[in-house]
Amino acid sequence: MPGGPTAGRRIPARRLVTLPDVTGGGWSRRGAFVTIEGPEGAGKTTQAERLRRASQDAGIEAVLVREPGGTVVGERVRQILLDPASVHAPRTDALLFNAARAQLVRDVIRPALARDALVISTRFADSTLAYQGYGAGLPLDELRVLEGFATESLRPDLTILLDLPAEVGLGRKANETNRFESAFGLDFHRRVRDGFLALAAAEPERFEVVDASGAPDAIAAAVVTAAARLDRLGRLADEPTGDAMRIRR
Ligand code: TYD
């Protein structure tokens, strides 16, 4: 199937900027930051690991992180967030996800980017917009302010959205019961999926949408092809990719 409007186009090196030193850490930004997003059961973890391996094979240092988590504080916050026995207001969730994110950015993502690595994150700020915004109804503009504060305005160079219908993804995870799978109904997860697609449509230069309902090998090929759009990851295009399977936006 042919790619979307940006398929095959290299993303220019707009990320080769030095960020203002708002942290006192003097971070510079040389690496590439790729996030993998999508609704429940899209296979983000599997695909992130496959992209990490492909990157290492191509000689690119790749650091894999997950949200929420990835730091001592973040893993503790994760336990609170995903505990099926907890009941949270959506604003509490938004703050906790961003608290874990702030620590991850500061401790892991920024240092890795500063030493020229590729950082692959399964979920990042778009998940808060999709779940707490489109899903739970919090105002997107307020969530974006929170995001900017937590991330010190760090944004992904590329976001790969693994898209699939909510009922298919939930069906794949039927035996797992984190709070978001057990306490929120199908309508919520449909809004999340539609939210991700709306975010992708609004920023086609950052997003690549991949149909995640197919076979893992084909999805992996599409993910590698998408990542190779980044100038710094162009080497990935030389890796065997199989038949790419992007969907049109
Ligand atoms: P996890 O078990 O890691 O699921 P997945 O493999 O799908 O990422 O649980 C993370 C859950 O938290 C998932 O249901 C989505 C939800 N979530 C939010 O609601 N907001 C956020 O900002 C993030 C990062 C995750």
Domain range list for the chain: 34-238
* Residue 232 neighbours by CB distance under 10 Å: 19
- Report the chain's mean pLDDT, rounded to a whole number: 87
Confidence tier at 12 by pLDDT (50, 70, 90):
low
**pLDDT score, position 180:** 84
Cβ pair 11, 229 in contact under 8 A: yes
50 lines ligand 1 (CB under 6 A): no
Class for domain 34-238, per CATH?
Answer: alpha beta
% of the chain residues with pLDDT over 70: 84
CA distance 206 to 210: 13
Q: Find out whether the beta carbon of 95 lies less than 6 Å from any atom of ligand 1.
A: no
Measured from the CB, is residue 196 less than 6 Å from ligand 1?
no
Which tens digit of pLDDT belongs to each residue from 163-192?
999 999 998 887 777 888 777 899 999 999
Residue identifier of the C-alpha nearest atom 20 of ligand 1: 128
Would the CB of 82 count as within 6 Å of ligand 1? yes
Query: Strand ranges (DSSP E) for 60-136?
Result: 62-66, 118-122
Q: Give me ligand 1 centre to Cα 68, in Å.
A: 7
Rounded alpha-carbon distances, angstroms, from residue 164 to 112, 188, 209, 239 = 31, 14, 10, 26
Residue 42 CA, ligand 1 centroid: distance in Å = 12
Q: If we measure between CA atoms, which residue out of 157, 107, 151, 105 comes closest to residue 129?
A: 151
pLDDT digits (tens, 9 = 90+) for 209-233: 999 999 999 999 999 999 999 988 8
What value does the mean pLDDT take over residues 18-24? 44
Would the pLDDT of 1 be above 50? no
Predicted confidence at residue 7, as pLDDT, reads: 53
